[in-house]
Amino acid sequence: MDINIQNKVSQWLNGNYDAETIATLKKMQEGNPDDLNDAFYRNLEFGTGGLRGIMGVGTNRMNKYTVGMATQGFANYLKKTFEGEVKVAIAHDSRNNSRFFAETVANVFAANGIKVFLFESLRPTPELSFTIRHLQCQGGVVLTASHNPKEYNGYKAYWNDGAQLVPPHDKNVIREVESILSPDDVKWSGGEANITLIGKEVDEAYLKELQGLSINPEINKQQHDLKIVYTPIHGTGITMVPEILQRFGFTNVNVVEEQATPNGNFPTVVYPNPEESEAMNLGLKKAKELDADILLGTDPDADRVGIAVKDLKGQWVLLNGNQTGVLLFNYIVEGRRRKGLQQPNDYIAKTVVTSDLIDVFAAKNDINCYNTLTGFKWIADLIRRKEPQETFICGGEESYGYMIGNNIRDKDAISSVAMICEMAAYARSQGKSLFELLVNVYQQYGYYKEHLISITKKGMKGADEIAEMMRGYRENPPATINGSPVVTLYDYQLQQVKDIQSGEIKPLDLPKSNVLQFVLADGSKISARPSGTEPKIKFYFSVNAPLDSAASYDAVTADLDKKIEGIINDMQLK
Ligand SMILES: O=P([O-])(O)O[C@H]1O[C@H](COP(=O)(O)O)[C@@H](O)[C@H](O)[C@H]1O
Ligand SMILES: [Mg+2]
């Protein structure tokens, strides 16, 4: 075993860790060496969505020690950065141990003399983002691993604007965490008087904020019986989604009973991720039974949302995150313009792996569209840098995340569910379905079809293999893919974009990130990046073609699907 790993293990065996931890560690030493390696080969790191890891013993795992040390580091950094009273807000999702971790975090902050607002019970992640601004906190934490499998938990860390930490703050917090070498360096308790439980009053303020996002409240009233099926997939969405839908005026909301109760074992699904069709199966069943207009499902911390609607033939289909995003951007931007609300300095935002259809849409609608790295923390960072000169209207990304308005600085499935239903109500008032609207958008701006492949490679070995794959593409980029020459190569790690034919290299104005993109002569685009939240490498495929009429939708879809298939085969990703 690697000497560093051995050292860490013996530090834990001899340090001030509880008897249960030490007993588990001894068992791990006798068991599978890969498991021990994975538990200690690194410390938890801030990825796309904060710290995330499997729950268990080890420096690379989520347990009260890693959570406590992270919090001590965060507390030290907050106190160094802000003069005077420091306040933080804390929330958690429905996962196993989330409440325990949230209380641990609250106790550590409080013992460091920080004023803590702790939600009395589970709440959506976006509500915490809102709360930081609402209660004028300097920081915040949500205990959640989002949509990851049930073995995981995580730590989303927030700054005073309600956004997740970006550099330099994440690096600085980690530096502080690294200087904490043992549990003895953590102030675990003694500040209980600094903890205030919060609940209803903040909920009310959050719900009011969301109600203010509505563009066509009169249409919601008129279409109040829109038949909605909703599943929280055993997560926090249940605390807010039915309430906000009622406040938006919808009276026919049907919750999927089997998935309504928060449960960290997510007993009815394999993964509590609305991106996985299997997680939406019970919802689809109910939507079909009721002949509903729309199905919506949110992940455990209720920041991402998946939807299903009927296609042109009346068959239920799950939309991908790009499709929902395109519809939502279109509804919000057009709706605001119709109401005379659009201003010249308005802008929308998306990530570099999100559909380019949104860039085309923005250009044709006289609104700026900015691209950021993956993760809403980067969209929030953009907002911070642009305010107050430019006004953020909405943002989104392919992985089922949308953010609307200025006061919630993380993706928000609660406001998204409400606005998606409003959009469906609007479509119905025009005698159309959402799918018909989507096809109309394709007719107007071009039919962009996207597909995602994620390859899971677990543990230390998997991480090396992923790094190796990225290195391979970077050092030997393909000259053609599926018969079409690669014309442009974006390398976000080197922060440059290269025109293959002329050899010209231009700088990319985004922070370094291990992302590669190949643009083909036929307009297709392939992106590759390691996930920052799960042990996966992700490949994003985007192809496009004009769509002359709704009648040719099927034929063009078949062509585009064939093209995607060709790319996947040529890249040997099957
Ligand atoms: O997991 P969540 O819902 O908190 O979401 C987080 O992770 C997603 C997946 O990131 P990656 O592709 O690096 O795994 C990002 O798209 C998202 O912006 C981020 O907030
Ligand atoms: Mg989530």
Indicate the residue among 421, 442, 463 that finishes a domain: 442
Indicate the residue among 380, 409, 442 that finishes a domain: 442
Q: Which of 371, 374, 454, 534 to mutate to test the pocket of ligand 1 (most atoms within 8 A of CB)?
A: 374
303 lines ligand 1 (CB under 6 A): yes
| pLDDT tens sequence across 59-72 | 999 999 999 999 99
Q: How far apart are CA 274 and CA 281, in angstroms?
A: 10
| pLDDT tens sequence across 225-242 | 999 999 999 999 999 999
Say yes or no: 423 and 460 in one domain.
no
> What's the domain count of the chain?
4
Say yes or no: 494 and 513 in one domain.
yes
* Domain harbouring 160, CATH code: 3.40.120.10
Nearest atom within ligand 1 for CA of residue 47: 13
Minimum CA distance residue for ligand 1 atom 19: 375
Nearest to 10 by CA among 24, 27, 18, 22: 22
| pLDDT for res 98 | 98
Instruction: Count CB atoms within 10 A of the CB of residue 57.
Output: 23
| pLDDT for res 312 | 96
Indicate the residue among 151, 181, 198 that finishes a domain: 198
| pLDDT for res 1 | 78
Q: Give 359: exposed, middle or buried? Use CB within 10 Å, 0-12, 13-18, 19+.
A: middle
| pLDDT for res 519 | 98
Say yes or no: 194 and 71 in one domain.
yes
61 lines ligand 1 (CB under 6 A): no
Q: What stretches of 457-533 adopt beta strand conformation (E)?
A: 480-481, 484-491, 496-499, 505-507, 516-520, 525-530
Assign 423 to helix, strand or coil: helix
Say yes or no: 419 and 460 in one domain.
no
Say yes or no: 408 and 510 in one domain.
no
94 lines ligand 1 (CB under 6 A): no
Nearest atom within ligand 1 for CA of residue 148: 1
380 and 409 Cβ atoms separated by less than 8 Å:
yes
Could you tell me the two tokens for 222? 């008129």
Minimum CA distance residue for ligand 1 atom 15: 375
Q: Give 164: exposed, middle or buried? Use CB within 10 Å, 0-12, 13-18, 19+.
A: buried
Ligand 1 center from residue 77 Cα (angstroms): 25
In tens digits, the chain (574 residues) has pLDDT values of 789 999 999 999 999 999 999 999 999 999 988 899 999 999 998 887 889 999 999 999 999 999 999 999 999 999 999 999 999 999 999 999 999 999 999 999 999 999 999 999 999 999 999 999 999 999 999 999 999 999 999 999 999 999 999 999 999 999 999 999 899 999 999 999 999 999 999 999 999 999 999 999 999 999 999 999 999 999 999 999 999 999 999 999 999 999 999 999 999 999 999 999 999 999 999 999 999 999 999 999 999 999 999 999 999 999 999 999 999 999 999 999 999 999 999 999 999 999 999 999 999 999 999 999 999 999 999 999 999 999 999 999 999 999 999 999 999 999 999 999 999 999 999 999 999 999 999 999 999 999 999 999 998 899 999 999 999 999 999 999 999 999 999 999 999 999 999 999 999 999 999 999 999 999 999 999 999 988 999 999 999 999 999 999 999 999 999 999 999 999 999 8
Could you tell me the two tokens for 261? 């109760």
Minimum CA distance residue for ligand 1 atom 16: 375
410 and 303 Cβ atoms separated by less than 8 Å:
yes
| pLDDT for res 32 | 87
Burial code of 308-322, b = ≥16 C-beta within 10 A, e = fewer? bbbbeeeebbbbbbb
Minimum CA distance residue for ligand 1 atom 5: 49
321 lines ligand 1 (CB under 6 A): no
Largest CA distance in the chain: 71
Say yes or no: 289 and 436 in one domain.
yes
407 lines ligand 1 (CB under 6 A): no
Ligand 1 center from residue 436 Cα (angstroms): 29
Ligand 2 center from residue 366 Cα (angstroms): 32
Say yes or no: 71 and 172 in one domain.
yes
298 lines ligand 1 (CB under 6 A): no
| pLDDT for res 86 | 98
Say yes or no: 560 and 481 in one domain.
yes
Burial code of 78-101, b = ≥16 C-beta within 10 A, e = fewer? beeeeeeebbbbbbbbbbebbbeb
Q: How far apart are CA 280 and CA 282, in angstroms?
A: 6
Could you tell me the two tokens for 64? 């009260």
Q: Which of 92, 399, 403, 537 to mutate to test the pocket of ligand 1 (most atoms within 8 A of CB)?
A: 399
21 and 57 Cβ atoms separated by less than 8 Å:
yes
Minimum CA distance residue for ligand 1 atom 2: 146
Say yes or no: 365 and 226 in one domain.
yes
Residue 283: HSE in the Cβ half-sphere, 13 Å Cα cutoff: 35
304 lines ligand 1 (CB under 6 A): yes
540 lines ligand 1 (CB under 6 A): no
Nearest atom within ligand 1 for CA of residue 411: 20
Q: Which domain holds residue 21?
A: 1-41
| pLDDT for res 95 | 98
| C-alpha separations of 86 from 76, 83, 90, 126, 160 in Å | 11, 8, 13, 21, 10
Say yes or no: 427 and 451 in one domain.
no
Q: In whole angstroms, what separates CA 22 from the centre of its chain?
A: 35
Q: Which residues contact 383 (CB under 8 A, 6 or more apart)?
A: 163, 349, 392, 406, 409
Q: How far apart are CA 229 and CA 281, in angstroms?
A: 12
Interface confidence (ipTM) of the complex:
0.94
Nearest to 299 by CA among 55, 533, 63: 533
Say yes or no: 119 and 234 in one domain.
no
401 lines ligand 1 (CB under 6 A): yes
Say yes or no: 413 and 316 in one domain.
yes
* Domain harbouring 451, CATH code: 3.30.310
Nearest to 266 by CA among 299, 297, 304: 299
Number of the ligand closest to the Cα of 409 = 1
| pLDDT for res 373 | 97
Bridge partners of residue 62, in order along the sequence: 55
Ligand 2 center from residue 217 Cα (angstroms): 28
Residue type, 380: A
Q: Could you give the residue numbers annotated as active site?
A: 146
Q: Which residues contact 532 (CB under 8 A, 6 or more apart)?
A: 47, 48, 49, 374, 375
The pTM of the whole model exceeds 0.80: yes
Identify the DSSP state of 225: T
| pLDDT for res 49 | 80
